[in-house]
């Protein structure tokens, strides 16, 4: 959903929409991140880096990220939302992470 849709759906200014989204995301992050994404200790980071180095031969890394554009059939009335600048037509980006 785009901010302009929220503006018209709820009849509020874009500035207000941005403020609400920013505050809501911050609160969600502050409440859920300690429970769902705890910070690893130094020992865990060093062990992960060592294991990752053994597998990939990349020293001092603890993970990697990559992604792929997946070609899709767009939902009706989606406009330019799924159009990419890579001239691959309409696609959705699927990111991936590993450690």
Q: Is 89:98 a contact under the CB 8 Å cutoff?
A: no
Q: How confident is the model at residue 85 (pLDDT cuts 50, 70, 90)?
A: low
Q: Is 62:45 a contact under the CB 8 Å cutoff?
A: yes
Looking at residues 62-84, what average pLDDT do you find?
Answer: 76
Instruction: Report helix angle 14-36 to 3-10, nearest 10.
Output: 120
Model pLDDT for residues 15-51, shown as the tens digit of each residue: 888 899 899 999 999 999 888 888 888 998 899 889 9
pLDDT at 68: 81
């Amino acid at each position: 959903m785009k901010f302009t849709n929220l503006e018209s759906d709820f009849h509020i200014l874009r500035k207000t929409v941005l403020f609400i989204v920013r505050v809501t995301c911050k609160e969600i992050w502050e409440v859920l991140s300690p429970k769902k994404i705890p910070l690893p200790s130094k020992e865990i980071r060093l062990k992960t880096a060592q294991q990752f180095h053994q597998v990939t031969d990349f020293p001092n890394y603890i993970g990697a990220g990559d992604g792929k554009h997946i070609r899709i059939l767009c939902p009706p009335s989606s406009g330019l939302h799924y159009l990419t600048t890579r001239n691959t037509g309409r696609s959705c980006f699927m990111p991936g992470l590993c450690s």
